[in-house]
Amino acid sequence: MEFSAEQIADILNGEIQGDSQSMVNDLAKIEEGQKGTLSFLSNPKYEEYIYTTSSSICIVNKSFIPGKDLPPNLTLIKVEDAYSCFAKLLELYGNLYEKEIGVEKPAHINETAKIGESVHIGAFAYIGKNAVIGNNVIIYPNTYIGENVSIADGTKIYPNVSIYHDCKVGRNCIIHAGSVIGSDGFGFAPDEKGKFQKIPQIGNVVLEDDVELGSNVSIDRATMGSTFIRKGVKIDNLCQIAHNVDVDEDSAMAAQVGIAGSTKIGKNVLIGGQAGISGHIKIADQTKIVAQSGIPSSIKKAQTLMGSPGIPLDDFKRSYFGFRKLPGLLKRVQELEEKIEALTKE
């Protein structure tokens, strides 16, 4: 679809500087812009590109004043906040790909399942017994929805997602392709012969409203009770959340984070990629954990942690500075030992 500068300015309540009929049909970063694309400039560090970009339209802050001549075919749309306005356009652009209402064939919907209004269910999806699908839910092809699962209004589930029996998904959640919700927790106990016996996992997983899961996220069902992912939590690709974990509101974690069983993550906690968090501990609200850190014990007050085991960031930096000096220090110790040995022989 094509949009004119005038149409975009109306959406964003912006001011046009240039050709109001300039047309765009795609989005691009300002340094990669081509004719017919729309870009934005928010960070001053990228300002140099606005003087050479081939984009047809660029969204800028009202405070932006060009330091030199702009490309002759570039139209500006000035707004209060270029970054948030461009994000709004990205959302609208994404909505162009929304699925049409209806059920594609073949798809299996159990006769006891309840399906809300304005729902899309893709081909080869499976909806189990007594499942409840809310209004405006989008379920992409090859998705498995087990028995007694409930999915609230406005949630979007991408292809090849599996949601096991009895799990609950809140409103306006997004679950990306390949994620598994409600697989068994890793529960085994060795018997008298040292053989592992499986402990039944009879709980479920509860995703509250506005949760987003990346692709290939695994969230284990509770042994008993529920594994909770609270309102507004954002989880990146390839994360593992073990049984009975509770991730509190508006926390976020980057790719490949692993959280062991029964750990409680506080509110507004930020966890960097590949961090590992031990089981049966608590992480205080607003804690920040740097990528690849390991957290073996509870964190009682908000702080930024780095390393394995994680220590306060400033302490880690000082320790690392000393660590980098170790080769030189070891060499000096060796030289001193040799001198002492020579003096002793004399």
What tokens does 329 get? Answer: 């220090």
Task: Compute CA 138 distance to the chain's CA centroid, rounded to the nearest angstrom.
Answer: 19
Number of other CB atoms surrounding residue 325 within 10 Å: 11
Of the candidates 165, 176, 243, 280, the residue annotated as catalytic is 243
Q: Residue 219's closest CA among 209, 205, 233?
A: 205
Q: In whole angstroms, what is the distance from residue 100 CA to residue 33 CA?
A: 31
Q: In whole angstroms, what is the distance from residue 287 CA to residue 302 CA?
A: 4
Q: In whole angstroms, what is the distance from residue 338 CA to residue 280 CA?
A: 50
**Runs of H (alpha helix) within 13-142:** 82-95
> ∠ CA 23-24-26 to the nearest 5 degrees?
170
Verify whether residue 243 is a known catalytic residue.
yes
Report the catalytic residues. 243
